[in-house]
Chain A
């Protein structure tokens, strides 16, 4: 799984949350869009899932999503947009660009655990066997 996130705190928390999932992932982290694209481009195998923050340096989340979906490589990889933005436009743009889900980053730890449910739901849909 690729986690595209620049905030260390969020990385820590997300890793902790995903650790609690039934699915075991190796989580690779890209701290900006450029890194993310390079990773996706160069990797031999596509990640099973991409968690994508929107507010990342160099190349922002939407562009990464767009390039991912438009490109030939890994364009079918499920993507969950994880963003602190509450704006409806961001949500719909993410949907339009082909994100599978949108998770709003909460300000407290408890609410963060819902991310795990979202991940399971998305992966379940895509048929990766649980």
Chain B
């Protein structure tokens, strides 16, 4: 209200003109000092009321919608204000606006619609003064008169003057306000922005930083303003910043640079948009708006990395939308499927599926839509050139930033090769397993077969095992036997079918089929005999007689010994076709080989057994014969001796009783009877001795010390030797393999002979023995009467004598016995040397000591 008081002090004594001028000066002065728009309005209105005859005054301004509104309207009722708001003689921004004076509202047609409200407001006269700025009318100044009024005498001028001052002041004020508002708004934007914003002058001094800058670098506006980057950052960083600033200043062009700054939580990357600002004084400043793109950069990097991974992957990575349309296609996909990216993006993914897999894709998609993943699904796909490949798929849903599923990402790995390798390996493995099983079976079979030495059982076992291993329904081992009528094949052993049925199969009409087997030529295998013209078997008749074997699968292997002898053949059959494979051939051949060995062994064994039995039998017979002989010899000799004894005694009695009475001839005959009986008795004894000496000794001859035996013989002959005055000499004697009694007999006989057939000299006997080549050779040398060479052989004959009975006793059986003895041991006896009148040397050989 100070303004009003200023105006109240105006002197009333001045004339109205002077008073008006005075009021104007005061108004201007006051306007200059006015701080608020309202103040301006109040000053203007009070000045108007003072300098004009108006009863009331008002100021209206256009708002931003173009509606003119009361800004100051003291004394006007709200109804009036509401009624006339918006009414203006001039449009907003009009130029050349002139004041409008209405002397009497009642008489003004333009105001007719407002008459009612004017009268109620007690207004008759109005004066409209435009408020004009550079942009034209922006408001109006109103004067209201209660009575019709003629604006005369300087009233108009002063009102206009006031109006223009008000306009000026208002405009000025409004501009000021707008600028302040604008500045505040700008500051608000700056401070609320998350971007870093600064302005530096041409010397690099900060003129402006926003709040984000403050926060990030922990520095206030006051601290920063006026400083350069060198004050705030390490030199090399500052230099980098300023480099781009200078570039902007130099070129006068905006540029975008990437800047990295170390912050609390690490290195951040900014995209800085730098541009020059021209100051009014012609200098330039640099403004920078920098956005933190660290995340985005990382995202970018991640994205790049991801893209690189996708591109360099060996697996096809394909993405599709929810309709199954391919949206992306990597290099591996091209390599695997053959399509380029252009050929395939935008097309449905079903082009990759072979016809039998088409239903897979909708199924996979529906899983994806449900948010599920499909992991390692093995299936097949088709390439551009029509090849079908094995793949392993992993499909996962693609989410957008809001988590909705918008598509699917499919990773496809070509596993064709792996599949093939796996299959090959599986085949190899199964083959290896089969081979190992076969070998195992054969290994187990072998010993069993070899252990079976009985031929019949062996062959049966072979057949049984073979049939089981080969998986045949029936089988047989046929032995190749040629009988008198020609060739016929004997069934040796069989399994799985009745003998008669098999025999039927072996009918001559099938001879051709079996020939290669019985010839030992090769393995024969047919998948279906009924189909093969070489099969030799007629196709089965419509009504197959019961019991007839139906053979379709056929396998036959010859059983051949190592020496090439064909023992027979193993035959296998099955009523189904194609049952025997190459593997079975190998198996059967293996078994046949084992069987051949086994059968060979069994045969050998059989032979050995037979030989042994024969040996035993002949041994038995020998023993029996020996026993019989002994018994016979004994009883014969005894029975023979008895009558001889009677003859001898009877003859002796006659001789005693009547001997002297007999004529000389009869006496001689009687003597002959006596000597004959004696001789016969001796003969019989010799025969007995002969049989005893040559009887079969049981058991192998023991190793004996021939020297010891010789010593024993010397002892036994001591009396005879003494009586004959004989000397005997012997040297080292070897060890021999002979029964001691036999050797004793030999020595005794030869030494006795040496003494018996002595010459006039005292008998001298030399016995020697040596070992040579597995034989002991003994010699008995004497100085007796000797033997003429032509009789050298004869002397070993049975009962052979070179001298009369009167000359030398003995029946001539001794050397015969010796010969029999040495021959029993495989040795020999002979007259080594003899000279009639000088002596003889007899030698004999017997086996030396067995090791």
Contact = CB atoms under 8 A, between A and B. Distances in A.
A53 B677 CA distance: 22
Given A107-B648, A107-B681, A108-B648, A55 B642 contact: yes
Interface stretch (B35-43, B587-595, B649-657, B714-722): B649-657
Contact of A107 (B634, B645, B653): B645
B653 A105 contact: no
Contacts of B656: 109
A130 interface: no
Contacts of B641: 84, 107
A109 B638 contact: no
Nearest to A12: B653
A109 B642 contact: no
A115 B823 CA distance: 44
Question: B interface, how many residues as a size bin?
Answer: 10 to 19
B708 interface: no
B644 interface: yes
B652 A105 contact: no
Nearest to B681: A107
Interface string A1-32: 00000010110110000000000000000000
B642 A9 contact: no
Of A9, A55, A85, A109, the most chain B CB neighbours within 10 A belong to: A9
Contacts of A9: 646, 649-650, 653
Contacts of A84: 638, 641-642, 645
Given A84-B638, A85-B638, A107-B681, A7 B646 contact: yes
A12 B656 CA distance: 13
A62 to B, nearest CB: 15
A87 B634 CA distance: 9
Contacts of A87: 634, 638
Interface string B632-671: 0010001001101110111011001000000000000000
A24 B644 CA distance: 31
Contacts of B649: 9-10, 13, 107-109, 112
B632 to A, nearest CB: 14
Contacts of B644: 107
Contacts of B642: 55, 84
Contacts of A10: 646, 649
A88 to B, nearest CB: 12
Contacts of A13: 649, 653
Given A84-B638, A85-B638, A109 B645 contact: no
Contacts of B638: 84-87
Nearest to B638: A85
Contacts of B652: 108-109
Of A85, A106, A107, A109, the most chain B CB neighbours within 10 A belong to: A107
A84 B644 CA distance: 11
Interface string A78-121: 00000011110000000000000000011111001000000000
Question: A interface, how many residues as a size bin?
Answer: 10 to 19
Nearest to A86: B638
Contacts of B653: 9, 12-13, 109
A112 B678 CA distance: 16
B539 to A, nearest CB: 85
Nearest to B648: A107
Contacts of B677: 107
Contacts of A106: 645
A107 B678 CA distance: 9
Nearest to B634: A87
A107 B638 CA distance: 13
Contacts of A108: 648-649, 652
A97 to B, nearest CB: 20
B692 to A, nearest CB: 13
B479 to A, nearest CB: 57
Interface in A44-71: 55
Contacts of A112: 649
A9 to B, nearest CB: 5
Of B645, B653, B677, the most chain A CB neighbours within 10 A belong to: B645
Nearest to B656: A109
Interface string B701-719: 0000000000000000000
A7 B650 CA distance: 11
Nearest to A55: B642
A29 to B, nearest CB: 16
A29 B391 CA distance: 130
A112 B645 CA distance: 12
Contacts of A7: 646
A12 B677 CA distance: 19
A9 B644 CA distance: 12
Contacts of A85: 638
A7 B677 CA distance: 17
Nearest to B637: A86
Nearest to B642: A84
Nearest to A13: B649
B199 to A, nearest CB: 157
Nearest to A90: B638
Contacts of A107: 641, 644-645, 648-649, 677-678, 681
A84 B646 CA distance: 10
Contacts of B645: 84, 105-107
A113 to B, nearest CB: 13
B670 to A, nearest CB: 14
Nearest to A85: B638
A112 to B, nearest CB: 8
B9 to A, nearest CB: 199
A60 B645 CA distance: 20
Contacts of A105: 645
B678 to A, nearest CB: 8
Nearest to B677: A107
A107 B650 CA distance: 10
A9 B646 CA distance: 6
B500 to A, nearest CB: 65
A84 B678 CA distance: 15
A118 B820 CA distance: 42
A87 B642 CA distance: 14
Contacts of A12: 653
A109 to B, nearest CB: 5
A39 to B, nearest CB: 24
Interface string B330-356: 000000000000000000000000000
A25 B178 CA distance: 200
A84 B681 CA distance: 13
Nearest to B652: A109
A109 B649 CA distance: 6
A109 B652 CA distance: 7
Interface in B541-597: none
Interface in B46-72: none
Top-10 shortest CB links A-B: A107-B645, A107-B648, A9-B646, A9-B650, A109-B652, A9-B649, A84-B642, A7-B646, A84-B645, A13-B649
7 contacts: A13-B653, A86-B638, A107-B645, A107-B648, A108-B649, A109-B653, A112-B649
Given A85-B638, A107-B641, A109-B652, 20 more contacts: A7-B646, A10-B646, A10-B649, A12-B653, A13-B649, A55-B642, A84-B641, A84-B642, A87-B634, A87-B638, A106-B645, A107-B649, A107-B677, A107-B678, A107-B681, A108-B648, A108-B649, A108-B652, A109-B653, A109-B656
Interface of B: 634, 638, 641-642, 644-646, 648-650, 652-653, 656, 677-678, 681
